[in-house]
Structure 1
Amino acid sequence: MNISTMSNNVPFSRTISDVHAKVDKMLPLLIFVFGLSSLIGHAQDQKKVDSLLQAASKQTDTTQIITYATLWAEHLFVDPLASKPYLDSTLVLAKRLGNKEFIARTTNYLGVYHNMTSQYEKSIPIYDEVIEMYKELGDMTQVCAAMNNKANSLRSLGRYNECLETHMESLKLKEEIGDTEESIAASYWNIGNIQGDIENYEISNQYYNKAKTIYEKLDSRDDLASIKVNMALNLKGQKEYEESKALLLEVEPYYFEKSYNNDLAGIYDNVGWILAQQDSLDLAEDYYNKSLEISKRYGETSLIGLNLRHLGELYNKKGEHRKALRFMKDALQISEDTGTRKKMIGDLLEMSKAYAGLGRYKKAYEFHTDYHELHDEILGEENIKKMNELEVQYQTEKKEKELIIKQNEIKLLEERKQRAENQKLFLIISLIGALALAAAIVYALRQKMKRNKIEREKLDKDLEFKEKQLTTHALHLAHKNEVLQDLKSQIKELKAEGANSRRYQEVINTINLDINNDGTWDQFRNYFEDVHKGFNSKVMGNYPNVSNNDLRLMSLLKMNLSSKEIANILNISVEGVKKARYRLRKKLDLSTEDSLQELILTL
């Protein structure tokens, strides 16, 4: 898996000790790197390492940094000292590129490295620097991560008050920014550790169970194993030795399978300590030596000091005080070198016991005095009280926030209820309005339909009247012309018979003038246009070659009159009507198959 595609929040665990009440804790050291996951299998794969080295030699920019970071992660738990050159490469490359994000990440790696090699004092200013870098970048998630790492270093140094305060501050910030469940679980884990250190086992287990619930949901086997070990150590502190030992040995095969060497050494050391309390001293010695062998091989300095102290304690119990003193001096030296002041409490106590066993009481008294002073400084009532106050303050603030959230939820529900009621009222009013509007529209439509019906009936009556008027006028015109033609014929006969033919001609001319009177046609056209609106204009638009006489013929054909009636109106013969129809067909460009009557009726 490529390191650039993995989660930023990967918890690592390593073993440190709490010599007070002889309780050893597993510490989740959160490394918020640019994704370290399955590649950290803790088992060296030389082929993979060679492949990564070959890839790094050809890479540039951030991809090369990621590859070196992967190599560092590959070695970190198996051989921390061997991981340092790769870490140095990531630091140099990030600074050379001037990439602020990668500079922050690689600097954080350096802090983690110091933690892993028990250089706790060196790690704290580095984490402070990382915190400021991420604040400048606006990455509050990584600020929380660096605060967690810093708090873990403070815990190793026995600065419990500062440690718990930093963890609480980190947890509050995570809750404010809505950090991931995994990240919040890590804070629960860390706070559970510090509460266990001061023997607040009930509170410690509450935090462990919170973390456990999340890890079960995330199916994180590594973290679940470490939480199980932590709860075993709480049982050890409560002197529930058999239950504690059973839990520890339950996890042992998993750590062995995964080659989690330092964690495995921690389990052997704790089992050895339990056996020593049960006076199985020889078996306890075997477990201590197994732990020491692993610790020396893989460079966990603080764990080496813890193994040496426990062996010294064992030899004190066996009455081998000189041998115990030799182990205790080495243990105390490691505690002083690494700055793990809380471990020094146990070292000083066992040194005092060894000197007392050798009869060197003055020396024993000096070490016992130093033991009490350091114990009171680190684990005195005032410090414990301050730490308990921090827990109470956190819980109080959390409950206040929860109360505010609940009040806001109630207020929101009330507002939603009010909005729902308002919407309901609005819908009812809208529905009533819509129904009223619909009724008004229906009424208006009915009234309009009623008016339209009346208007149509009126128009139909007017049209019927005008059609009757037009027909009557046409028939009257035909009849008049027929009468005048008959009268004209009779006068012509009288004229032919003789007397005063000039006078007869004047009468004939008067009749002809009346027959061809345009005024009569104008009146006819007006009647026709009232009934057949736009007919004349449509004919002239479609057939511009049509004459006025043609238009008169078409109007009469439109009225569906007979040829005789048309002949009388136009003052021509029936044969003349046929000829006029023929000429009109030609103008209208009609074939023999086309019907003139049908064409005119469709216009």
Structure 2
Amino acid sequence: MYISQNTMMKLIKIFLIIYFCIVGSSSVVLGQSALYQGDLKPKLDYLSKLLQEDPEEFVKEANLIRGQGIKDASSAVDFYSLLSEYYYARGKFDSMSWSLNKAKSFVKDDKSSNLISIYLQLATSFYFSGNTDSVKYYQNIVSDFIDEQSPFYPQFLLVEGMKYQRAANYVKSIEVIIEAAKILESQNNQAKLAIAYNNLAINYEKLQLIDLQLEYLLKAQEINSLLEIPYHLAINYNNLGVFFKNQNDLEKAVYYYELSYDNLKKVKSTFLLAQNMTNRANIHEKMGEYEIAEQLFLECERLCEENQIHYGLMASAINLGNLYRIKKRYIESEVQLNRALELSRVLKTKKEEGAVLQRLFWLERDRGEYAKALDFQTRYHALNDSIINEKVKIEANELRDMYEMEKKENAIIILSNQKLYQQYVIALMALGLFVLLIILILWNNKRKLAEKELQKEALQRSHMKTLLQNKDREFKGLAGQFLDIKAQLDEATIKISSIMNTDAQDHHKFKKIDEILNKKPFESIKNNLDTQISSQNTEFFNRLLNKFPDLSPAELNLCAYLRLNMSTKDIAELLNRSVRTIETTRANIRRKMTLESQDNLVSFLMGFVDSN
């Protein structure tokens, strides 16, 4: 079976991920400032407030405090826990794991509530980084210390629900998280309740239950509005914007993106603000509101330029270039796209360079410059193929670096040889199931094609049958007309002959008419009918001969007339044979076909035509 290059790259990626299953952490953003020596408790309270209200200022203040310089273990745990919350809010889950491991290193009691909380947060961080084994590991560690009366029980259930979600058991995940949500509601723990609602929305999205997905997104948004934490509220509104964008309800999508923008201005995150502007501009572009889209793209460009966000500048140039192409402002489009191409090469972002090449291809195609368009298209495909190969190498190197880093930091998770062997077996089984699935899909497609061919043949047979029936009716009508005309001519011939024998007057006129009639003027018509009955029954004759090879040409010809259900007398008239001769021939046909006395010859021949 043929496997494409893309499929092979995906399989290689799967095996690399299995091999480097222990996910390390990335480096920390904290600077190398002097050690903080003052009373840390007020500072930590201030940091906690900044984390919710001004994350950028939080980073500046956190850079003043070095974990190595905190002498009080309790304060160190609180500091790194706050830092992990910062990373969690920004989706930097490897850094979140690092900060939690640093906090764990200051906890000496293996059964303390601090350590249980850290383990549950570590399970959460590994859930988001896609390391299901680590989620199970940390959940198993704390399971011995947590029962239904424990204050950590609802958080334990949330981790359990995340584990089922990662295993694609969305129904079980919903069941567990709903149980956690009920406890959190009774505890009035609004912050974690919002997390539970967001996870329920994710599960319902996977099950394509969009009404329930929206319901829980709105519930989470309601809680975050009450908590008045701008960052979480901005993310919640953003998720609602994404939901309505996916439902193609663009007006509501814009509405929620704008609410997200209002809260992001409070957070003062320039990167997220630029991203929000881009999202809104893309929707306005899709709605055909090009002027609004252009203003937002330009505002995003200005913001990125002021804050030296080079990636944002490149993205803005790509978007503006494509928008100007749509508006047929080709010169401006070319300027922006060339600028984006230059930035993508400076930043060494091949994916974005490919996107620029693709849009330059579109631009030249719209201009009618097909040679240039072909050149850009060729360069785009070549770059895209190289990106796939390079991406596999980069991911492999990243996984290897993360693995080595985690070993240096004395990470807890160490996979045994037996566990690695089991994972390889599972991977091979998964690969086998994947191949089996492909085979089943191919077989199913082949079966459907065969069914379609059968349906096509049946349709053709039905069409041919209808066509044959129409021709039979047409021939039968012509034969009837011929017999009527012949009967009338015979009658006229007899009358004229009688008149000629009795009436001498005008004898010469009737004699001339008699001479014309005796020449049998309809003989040619009769010959045409014979030719037609032979030509349109070729397949019928062949099938008869295949089954009854002893049939003579005269008997075959009679069979063609018999299946038209014509009377023996009419057939005799058409064939210029006596009725007795026709009946004798019919008897011979029945004998050669081995028909019983109760079998009707005409019905048999008509049924023989309809059979396969």
| TM-score between the two structures when normalised by the length of structure 1 | 0.38
- Structure with higher Rg: it is 1
